[in-house]
C-alpha cells in the first residue's frame, strides 16, 4: 500500500511536539518547588495541549486506512483490527508504569468502543458525531481526554471525504489568526481569574489548543511543499511514531531527575531537542535498512499472527541495456515510490 507522505509528515511533527511536552511534564513532576519561568509560559501557552489533538485526529485517519488495507487481505478485517488495538492496550498498560498520563491505553479503548462501531455508519453521520463529540468535550468538560473520541471520529470522517491539497492554505489562513486570538484570550483570562465566573470561559483553553493544532499542521504541510528538507526530516519519524513516542517518553522519565536541577527549565528543552535529533538520525538509519520501525514491526507481526518481512530487499542492478539519463543513473529509477 502506497504511503501518504503528508500523513507521515504530520505524525513526525506530532511526535516532535509530544516529546518536548512529555520531557517538560516529567521535569515539572520531579521539581520540589516550581517557580514559573518564561520557558514555562512558552510551553504551556504554545505547546501544551496542541499535539495530542493531532495524534488523536491522525489515529482516526489511520484506523480507516488500516481497515481498508485489512479488507484486501481478509473478509473479516475487524478481527485483525481488534488484535491491533489489543496489542496497543498491552503496550499502554506497560507504559503506565513509566508515564501514568500516557495515551496508548485510552486510545485502544476508545478505538474499540467508538471507532469500530462507527465504521458501520455512513460517513455523514460519523462527521456529525465527530463535530458534536468535540464540541461537547470543549463546552462541558473543558477538553482534556474527553476530546479523544470526537477527534477520532473527525479523523475518520476527513479521510473518507479526502479534502484536496487546495484546502491547506484557506485552513491555515483561518486557523492561524483564530489561534492567536484564542491564545491571547486565555492568557488574559488566566491573569484575571475573576472572569472565570462565566460558565464557558474554561472552553477558551481547549479551543485555543484545537485552533493552534490546525494552524501548526497546515503550516507545516505548506512549509514542507516549499522546503523539502522539512518533510525529509519528519517523515521517517512519522513512519515509526510508536517507537519515537515510547522512546521519547522513556528518555524524558530517565532524564527528569537531572533536568529538575535546572531552575531556568531550559535544560528540558535542550534535552528534548537532543533526544529528537537522536531519534531522527536513528529513524533515517533504520528505515534505510528495514521496512518498519522496531515496535511497528512487532505490532504488525502480533496483529497478523505471523512474521512480517522486515529487511528491505537490495535494489536490483539495472540491466546492461537500460537507458541512462544525463546524470548517469537509470532513466526509470525512483518514479515517486
311, β-bridge pairs: 290
- In angstroms, the CA 78 to CA 68 distance is 10
Would the pLDDT of 31 be above 70?
Answer: no
- Contact present, 77 and 67 (Cβ < 8 Å): yes
Three cell numbers written together for 155:
479523523
pTM: 0.86
Q: Please name the residues in contact with 94: beta carbons below 8 A apart, sequence gap of 6 or more.
A: none
pLDDT category at 33 given cuts 50, 70, 90 is low
pLDDT category at 266 given cuts 50, 70, 90 is confident
pLDDT at 312: 83
pLDDT category at 278 given cuts 50, 70, 90 is very high
**Low-confidence winner among 174-188, 226-240, 249-263, 297-311 (lowest mean pLDDT):** 249-263
Q: What is the mean pLDDT of residues 246-265?
A: 82
pLDDT at 195: 66
More confident residue, 31 or 279: 279
- Gap between the terminal Cα atoms of the chain: 11
- Residue 324, SS3 per DSSP: strand
pLDDT for 39-70, tens place per residue? 788 888 899 999 999 999 999 999 999 999 99
Would the pLDDT of 335 be above 50?
Answer: no
- In angstroms, the CA 67 to CA 118 distance is 12
- Contact present, 55 and 18 (Cβ < 8 Å): yes
Q: What is the mean pLDDT of residues 325-330?
A: 36
- Residue 234, SS3 per DSSP: helix
- In angstroms, the CA 237 to CA 11 distance is 7
Q: What is the mean pLDDT of residues 208-222?
A: 96
* For the ranges 180-189, 195-204, 291-300, the one whose mean pLDDT is highest: 291-300
Average predicted confidence (pLDDT) for the chain = 86
**Low-confidence winner among 101-115, 158-172, 289-303 (lowest mean pLDDT):** 158-172
Give the domain ranges of the chain.
Answer: 5-304
Q: What is the mean pLDDT of residues 283-296?
A: 95
Q: What is the mean pLDDT of residues 174-186?
A: 94
pLDDT at 263: 62
Q: What is the mean pLDDT of residues 243-263?
A: 85
Q: What is the mean pLDDT of residues 85-108?
A: 92
Would the pLDDT of 3 be above 80?
Answer: no
Residue whose C-alpha cell is 470522517: 157
The pair phi, psi for residue 191, each rounded to 5°, is -80, -15
Three cell numbers written together for 78:
475487524
Q: What is the mean pLDDT of residues 104-126?
A: 93
Would the pLDDT of 324 be above 50?
Answer: no
Three cell numbers written together for 19:
516529546
pLDDT at 2: 61
- Residue 189, SS3 per DSSP: helix
CA torsion 233→46→149→168, rounded to 10°?
A: -60
Would the pLDDT of 247 be above 90?
Answer: yes
Q: Long-range contacts: 298-305, Cβ < 8 Å, 24+? A: 299/84, 299/87, 299/88, 299/91, 299/242, 302/83, 302/87, 303/80, 303/83, 303/84, 303/87, 304/80, 304/83, 305/83
pLDDT at 199: 60
pLDDT category at 314 given cuts 50, 70, 90 is low
pLDDT at 268: 84
pLDDT at 159: 84
330, β-bridge pairs: 324
What percent of the chain clears pLDDT 90, i.e. is strictly above it? 61
Amino acid at each position: 500500500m502506497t504511503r501518504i507522505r503528508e500523513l507521515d509528515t504530520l505524525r513526525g511533527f506530532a511526535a516532535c511536539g509530544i516529546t518536548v511536552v512529555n520531557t517538560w511534564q516529567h521535569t515539572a513532576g520531579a521539581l520540589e518547588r516550581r517557580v514559573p519561568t518564561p520557558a514555562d509560559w512558552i510551553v504551556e501557552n504554545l505547546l501544551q495541549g496542541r499535539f495530542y489533538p493531532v495524534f488523536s485526529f491522525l489515529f482516526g485517519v489511520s484506523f480507516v486506512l488500516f481497515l481498508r488495507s485489512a479488507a484486501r487481505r481478509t473478509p473479516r478485517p475487524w478481527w485483525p483490527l481488534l488484535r491491533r488495538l489489543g496489542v496497543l492496550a498491552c503496550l499502554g498498560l506497560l507504559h503506565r508504569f513509566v508515564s501514568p498520563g500516557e495515551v496508548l491505553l485510552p486510545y485502544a479503548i476508545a478505538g474499540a468502543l467508538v471507532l469500530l462501531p462507527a465504521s458501520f455508519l455512513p460517513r455523514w453521520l460519523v462527521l456529525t458525531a465527530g463535530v458534536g463529540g468535540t464540541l461537547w468535550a470543549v463546552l462541558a468538560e473543558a477538553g482534556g481526554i474527553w476530546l479523544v473520541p470526537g477527534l477520532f471520529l473527525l479523523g475518520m470522517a476527513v479521510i473518507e471525504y479526502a479534502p484536496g491539497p487546495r484546502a491547506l492554505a484557506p485552513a491555515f489562513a483561518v486557523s492561524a489568526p483564530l489561534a492567536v486570538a484564542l491564545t491571547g484570550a486565555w492568557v488574559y483570562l488566566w491573569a484575571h481569574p475573576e472572569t472565570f465566573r462565566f460558565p464557558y470561559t474554561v472552553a477558551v483553553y481547549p479551543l485555543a489548543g484545537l485552533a493552534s493544532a490546525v494552524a501548526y499542521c497546515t503550516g507545516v504541510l505548506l512549509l514542507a511543499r516549499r522546503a523539502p528538507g522539512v518533510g525529509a526530516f519528519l517523515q521517517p519519524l512519522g513512519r515509526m511514531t510508536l517507537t519515537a513516542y515510547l522512546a521519547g517518553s522513556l528518555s524524558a522519565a530517565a532524564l527528569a531527575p537531572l533536568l529538575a536541577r535546572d531552575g531556568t527549565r531550559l535544560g528540558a528543552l535542550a534535552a528534548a531537542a537532543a533526544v529528537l535529533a537522536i531519534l531522527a538520525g536513528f529513524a533515517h538509519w533504520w528505515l534505510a535498512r528495514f521496512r518498519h520501525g522496531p515496535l511497528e514491526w512487532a505490532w504488525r507481526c502480533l496483529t497478523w499472527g505471523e512474521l512480517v518481512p522486515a529487511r528491505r530487499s537490495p535494489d536490483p542492478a539495472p540491466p546492461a541495456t537500460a537507458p541512462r539519463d544525463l546524470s548517469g543513473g537509470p532513466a526509470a529509477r525512483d518514479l515517486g515510490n
